[in-house]
Amino acid sequence: MQNFESLKNTVISGDVRHVFSQIPDYFVQTIITSPPYFGHRKYSGEESSQCEIGRESNLEEYIQNLTECFDLLKPKLKNNGLLWLNLGDTYRNQELLGVPWRVAFALQDQGWILRSDIIWKKNNAMPSSVKNRPTTEHEYIFLFSKTKDYFYDSDAIREPHVTFSDKSQMKGGRKHFGQRNGTPEKGKNSGNSNLHNSRWDQAFHPNGRNKRTIWEIPLSKFKDAHFAVYPEKLVEICLLASTKSNDFVLDPFTGSGTTGVVAKKNNRNFIGIELVEKYQKMAQKRIDETHYQTELFMLQST
C-alpha cells in the first residue's frame, strides 16, 4: 500500500477539481469546509481567474461547480464519514437567492444524505445600512452523510442543560425541582420514578443536553487575512462530533487554514486544498506553527 504520510498536515496548492486524486479513497473521516460564497469576494488578484468558484456569471453554474467538487471528494470520505458545509446567502437585484438551500438540495440530488441544518448566529455580525429588510446575522451549516450508518459522537459536543437554570423558559419549571410529586402524574413522564421522587437531575444526561441546531458563535479575525474567518469554536464542534484522535480531516477550500489549526489542536491529522497561492502559503504556515506548538506542549507535559 502506498505511503500517504506526506499528506499529513499539508495544504495542497490547486483547484480541488484538479488535485483531488492526490487523496486516496476512503481515507478521510470528515470534511469541514466553507467554500467561497456566490458573488461575494474575489480572493485571487488575477483578472483571468474565471475558474475561481464564487465568481461564476450565474447561480446555476456556481451550484454545478460546487456539486462537482463534492462529487469528486465523496469517494475520499470513509463510508461512515460526514461532510459539514458552511454557506452564506447572496442578494441580487434586491432579491435573496436562497443559495445555501439550493446547494443543499443539489447535493441531495447527487446522493448525499442531509442529516441536519444548523443556524450559525453571528452575534457580532457586521452592521448594515439596509432599511427595507432585517439585517442578516446568520449563516447555514449543513451536515451530510454518505450512508445512513455514520460516526457521530453526540457526547463530545453536549451543551449545558437549560431546565432549572436561570435561562429556563418553562413556566414554574424551577419550582418543581427537589419537590416530591412536583411533576404531573399523567402524560409522557408518568411512571418515571426519578421524576416523581423529586430527582429530575437523574433524568438528564450528566454531561449536558444534546447539541441544538442554533449555535451562537462570534466571527473571528486572523491578522494575516483581510477578511473575517469562520471561528475555531465552530470548527471544533464539527470536528469533535465527527472524528476520533488521529483521524484525517479535509478542508478543500482551506482559506486561511482555520480548520487545519483546530484539527492540530485536537490531535487530528489534516489535509487542505487551496486555489489561491498566497492563502495556501498562509494556511500552511499557520498549521506548521500550530503543529510545532502542540508537539512542544506535549513534550513539556511528559
**Which range, of 41-50, 149-158, 164-173, 260-269, averages the lowest pLDDT?**
41-50
Give me the domains of the chain, ranges plus CATH numbers.
5-159+212-288 (3.40.50.150), 173-203 (no CATH)
Under 8 Å between Cβ of 156 and 240: yes
The residue among 194 and 9 whose pLDDT is bigger is 9
pLDDT digits (tens, 9 = 90+) for 113-160: 999 999 999 987 777 888 899 989 999 999 999 999 999 999 999 998
Q: Determine the 3-state secondary structure of 64 from DSSP.
A: helix
Nine cell digits for residue 92 = 441580487
Under 8 Å between Cβ of 98 and 89: yes
Please say if the pLDDT value at position 197 is more than 80. no
Under 8 Å between Cβ of 264 and 290: yes
Task: Tell me the sheet residues that pair with 256.
Answer: none
Task: Tell me the sheet residues that pair with 119.
Answer: 140, 214
Please say if the pLDDT value at position 48 is more than 50. no
Please say if the pLDDT value at position 45 is more than 60. no
pLDDT of residue 302: 67
pLDDT of residue 43: 55
Task: Tell me the sheet residues that pair with 120.
Answer: 139, 215
Nine cell digits for residue 85 = 458545509
**Which range, of 57-61, 218-222, 250-254, averages the lowest pLDDT?**
218-222
Under 8 Å between Cβ of 90 and 33: no
pLDDT digits (tens, 9 = 90+) for 12-42: 999 999 999 999 999 999 999 999 999 876 5
Under 8 Å between Cβ of 213 and 116: yes
* Beta pairing, strands 91-92 & 95-96: antiparallel
Q: Which of 271, 268, 264, 270 is nearest to 293 (CA)?
A: 264
- Name 302's Cβ contacts closer than 8 Å, sequence gap at least 6: none
pLDDT digits (tens, 9 = 90+) for 81-110: 999 999 999 999 999 999 999 999 999 999
**CB-CB neighbours of 120 under 10 Å:** 19
Q: Residue 296's pLDDT band (boundaries 50, 70, 90)?
A: confident
Q: Determine the 3-state secondary structure of 156 from DSSP.
A: helix
Please say if the pLDDT value at position 50 is more than 80. no
